[in-house]
């Protein structure tokens, strides 16, 4: 697999601003290709797809800035409440819930999870399980003929 290391800030700006599509491709592990998960997943969408350019365009991201700030404010309020009560706080769970709600609020106008709910924890565990399974070495990744 060819890898490119860009060691100067000027070259990084050049590569990421002018040639972003050339550097944005991902290798899809064979485990995800088995049931066409790579075709249906936003994570592995081709960056030139019209959907990604509309959802993640600068103007679209600018238009949802207030929503993201609101989600961060909700996170800070939750952290302050836990501090006030002297409760333990799982930072990974709080940041996952905030990120998840930022994304789902932007795309679907609804929060998928709450800080005090088990649904956030269950969804996070599911996502982590998927990432763990997808990240395991597969013999087909090393020997494509198999």
Of 106, 102, 65, 98, the closest CA to residue 79 belongs to 98
Q: What is the pLDDT of residue 134?
A: 75
Bigger pLDDT: 73 vs 131: 73
Task: Supply 7's token pair.
Answer: 């060691």
Q: Which range in 21-30, 38-47, 90-99, 102-111 is most confidently predicted, on average pLDDT?
A: 90-99
Q: Contacts by 111-120 with C-beta closer than 8 Å and gap 24+?
A: 115/74, 115/75, 115/78, 120/93, 120/96
Of 54, 56, 32, 60, the closest CA to residue 44 belongs to 32
Rounded Cα gap, residues 95 and 98, in angstroms = 5
Question: Model-level pTM greater than 0.75?
Answer: no
Rounded Cα gap, residues 81 and 108, in angstroms = 28
- pLDDT band of residue 146 (cuts 50, 70, 90) is low
Residue 100 has pLDDT above 80, yes or no: yes
DSSP, res 106: H
Residue 79 has pLDDT above 90, yes or no: yes
Residue 53 has pLDDT above 70, yes or no: no
Average pLDDT over residues 52-72: 78
């Amino acid at each position: 697999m060819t890898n490119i290391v860009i060691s100067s800030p000027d070259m990084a700006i050049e590569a990421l601003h002018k040639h972003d599509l050339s550097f944005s491709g991902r290798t899809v592990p064979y485990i995800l290709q088995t049931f066409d998960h790579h075709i249906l997943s936003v994570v592995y969408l081709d960056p030139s797809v019209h959907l990604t350019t509309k959802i993640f365009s600068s103007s679209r991201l600018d238009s949802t800035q207030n929503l993201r700030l609101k989600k961060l404010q909700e996170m800070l309020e939750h952290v302050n409440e836990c501090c006030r009560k002297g409760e333990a706080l799982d930072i990974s769970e709080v940041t996952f819930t905030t990120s998840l709600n930022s994304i789902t609020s932007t795309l679907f106008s609804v929060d998928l999870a709450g800080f005090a709910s088990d649904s956030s924890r269950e969804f996070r565990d599911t996502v982590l399980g998927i990432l763990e399974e997808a990240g395991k070495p597969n013999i087909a990744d090393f020997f494509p003929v198999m």
